[in-house]
Amino acid sequence: MEAKSLVGLVPPKLWRPESSSSLLIAGPCSAESPEQLMKVAAELKQTNRVHYLRAGIWKPRTTPGSFQGFGVEGLGWLRDVKQETGMPISTEVGSEKHVYEALKFGVDMVWIGARTVANPFAMQEIAEALRGTDIPVLVKNPLSPDLDLWEGAIRRLHNVGLRKIGAIHRGFSWWGKSIFRNQPFWKLPLELKEKYPNLPVICDPSHISGNRGLVPFVAKRGVDLGFDGLIVEVHPEPTKALSDAAQQLTPEEFVNLLTFIDSIGSPEQTYPDELLNELRAEVDIMDDLLLWALSNRMELSERIASVKSNRNMSVLQSKRWNQVLDRVTDTGEKSGLRAGFIRKLYNAIHKESISVQNELLEKI
Ligand code: PEP
Ligand code: MN
């Protein structure tokens, strides 16, 4: 997408007078009861670090029949907690109706979930409902690793005049297995930050990790990579949570996370084993992608072999091959790969492809 600047964005430190440069949002995945909310809010307030309490009221669940959130009833609980503790409150909105309800109950910040962001109709409707309001709005990345879709949603909010806008990196869906619930593909949010230096991008280590053991390390990685804050799921009794039980931290674990992200030292020094595991998990995903691409490429070569044979063309078409080699070398070099390596790699792929095509033609 063409990088027009997002003019006039207000930085998070002006969203709340007391917020430092790093925005911290914490709270349960879902609001489950007045007691649960009050308990976790009291603990989070004690840390003196959390700027907004989070709690999902409307839960976009993958599977029908799963817990869908308490809706407007939960908004009443959130409002009471705000009154009692003075903590600003935030929740997810997925429609214009959600926006109106949230505003009615004095919600101080809203975020738009990964499933909604990918729907331009819903995004436009939400943007129109927010027109003229002054609350911050955070936009999660869409499930698919598609920067344009993420940017498009952000621009819709900017276009209606909103200026307290931020992005949340919550990881991306992927078909391969990995230690992450949602793959971080760190390059994508960093690209967004680079394109829009005034857009705050915060990290959601809970939804990236999917399990509480990994959350502090992903949070620290986000901080070390220069993200502008964190949104972390914290529940008084995570194992009994009605949604995302595996990834929520206890308040005590959250306090430990804060100490950990404050610790000085590079990830290589502070948590080398976990960093290595994370990086290897990312490499495994890339290998899956390479193998997927190679097997699809080989299937296409087989189709091409049968077309060539019908047209009495020889398997080796030098002109076409030179064009392929030039194109991939050029594209590879633009991505920082050395031309010699690309040529070696593609010569090997080509050799295999010719040999598969020849074998196939012998059988015909
Ligand atoms: C959430 O924050 O609880 C949530 C549903 O997130 P996401 O939209 O990232 O899945
Ligand atoms: Mn959740």
Q: Would you place residue 174 in the very low, low, confident or very high pLDDT band (cuts 50, 70, 90)?
A: confident
And the tokens for 66? Answer: 């799963």
Pocket test residue of 92, 141, 235 for ligand 1, highest count of atoms within 8 A of CB: 92
Confidence of residue 21 (pLDDT cuts 50, 70, 90): low
Q: Is pLDDT above 80 for 192?
A: yes
Tell which one of 32, 112, 207 to mutate to probe ligand 1, the residue whose CB is within 8 A of the most ligand atoms. 207
User: Under DSSP, is residue 220 helix (H, G, I), strand (E, B) or coil?
Assistant: helix
Between strands 52-54 and 229-233, the pairing is: unpaired
Q: 223: which 2 tokens?
A: 């901080």
127 or 5: which carries more pLDDT confidence?
127
Average the pLDDT over 11-23 and give the result. 82
What is the length of the chain? 364
**Unique residue bearing structure tokens 């009833």:** 73
Task: Over range 227-238, report the average pLDDT.
Answer: 98
* 140 CB near ligand 1 (under 6 Å): yes
Give the model's pLDDT for residue 178.
87
Domains and CATH numbers, the chain: 3-263 (3.20.20.70), 273-363 (1.20.59.10)
Run of H or E including 139: strand 137-140
Give the ligand 1 atom nearest the CA of 244. 3
Question: How confident is the model over 270-291, as pLDDT tens digits?
Answer: 899 999 999 999 899 899 989 9
Report the residue among 66, 68, 70, 170 best suited for mutation to probe ligand 1: largest number of ligand atoms under 8 A from its CB. Answer: 170
Find the 233 Cα to ligand 2 centroid distance in Å: 7
**How much is the mean pLDDT over the chain?**
94
> Are the C-beta atoms of residues 42 and 87 closer than 8 Å to each other?
no
355 vs 350: CA distance, rounded Å: 8
Q: Which residue has the tokens 């097997």?
A: 295
Q: How far is the CA of 318 from the centre of ligand 1 (A)?
A: 51
CA of 80 to the centre of ligand 1 (A): 23
| Residue range 96-144, pLDDT digits in tens | 999 999 999 999 999 999 999 999 999 999 999 999 999 999 999 999 9
- Would you tell me how many other CB atoms lie within 10 Å of the CB of residue 75? 23
- pLDDT recorded at residue 19: 63
Average of pLDDT values for 160-188? 94
Q: What is the DSSP string of 311-326?
A: TT--S--HHHHHHHHH
Q: 3-class DSSP state for residue 166?
A: strand
Q: In the predicted model, is pLDDT for residue 20 greater than 80?
A: no
pLDDT of residue 175 exceeding 60: yes
- Tell me the average pLDDT across 316-337: 94
Centre of ligand 2 to C-alpha 350, Å, is 46
**Per residue in 72-90, pLDDT tens?**
999 999 999 999 999 999 9
Cα separation, 88 vs 15, in Å, equals 11
- Which of 94, 87, 264, 246 has the alpha carbon at shortest distance from 181? 246
